[in-house]
Amino acid sequence: MTTLNDLLQETRRRALSDMREEINLLAANMGSGDTTFSLASGQQLNSIQPGALVEIDQELILILGVAGTSVTSCVRGWYDSTATTHSANAVITVNPRFPQVDVIKAINEDIDDLSAPTNGLFQAKECTLSYNPVIVGYDMTDVNTNIAVPSANLIDLIEVRIHDYGPFQRWPLIPLSKVKIQRQADTTVFPSGIALQFYAGGYPGRPIRVQYKSPYTTPLVNTTDDVQAVTGLHTQAHDIPVLGATYRLMQFRELKRSFTEAQPEARRAEEVPVGSSLTSMKGIMAHRKDRIDAERTRLKQMYPVRYK
Query: pLDDT tens, 89-120?
Result: 999 999 999 999 999 999 999 999 999 999 99
**pLDDT of the residue at 225:** 97
List of the chain residues with pLDDT < 70: 254-279, 308
How far apart are alpha carbons 78 and 91 in whole angstroms? Answer: 17
In a 13 Å sphere around the CA of 36, the CA atoms on its Cβ side amount to 6
Q: Which CATH number fits domain 20-96: 2.60.40, 2.40.30, 3.30.110, 1.10.10?
A: 2.40.30
Does residue 39 contact residue 26 with C-beta atoms inside 8 Å? yes
**pLDDT of the residue at 157:** 95
**pLDDT of the residue at 140:** 96
Q: State whether residue 299 is helix, strand or coil.
A: helix
Q: What are phi and psi of 117, to 5 degrees?
A: -55, -35
Distance from CA of residue 209 to its chain's centroid?
Answer: 28
With 0-12 / 13-18 / 19 or more C-beta atoms within 10 angstroms meaning exposed / middle / buried, residue 48 is: buried
**pLDDT of the residue at 19:** 82
How far apart are alpha carbons 108 and 103 in whole angstroms? Answer: 9
Q: State whether residue 265 is helix, strand or coil.
A: coil
How far apart are alpha carbons 45 and 63 in whole angstroms? Answer: 11
User: For the chain, what are the domain ranges?
Assistant: 20-96, 103-118+219-302, 123-214
How far apart are alpha carbons 156 and 7 in whole angstroms? Answer: 29
**pLDDT of the residue at 274:** 58
Strand positions, DSSP E, the chain: 23-25, 37-38, 53-56, 59-67, 70-75, 91-94, 123-130, 137-139, 156-162, 173-174, 179-183, 194-198, 207-214
Helix-strand-coil split of the chain, %, nearest 5: 30, 25, 45
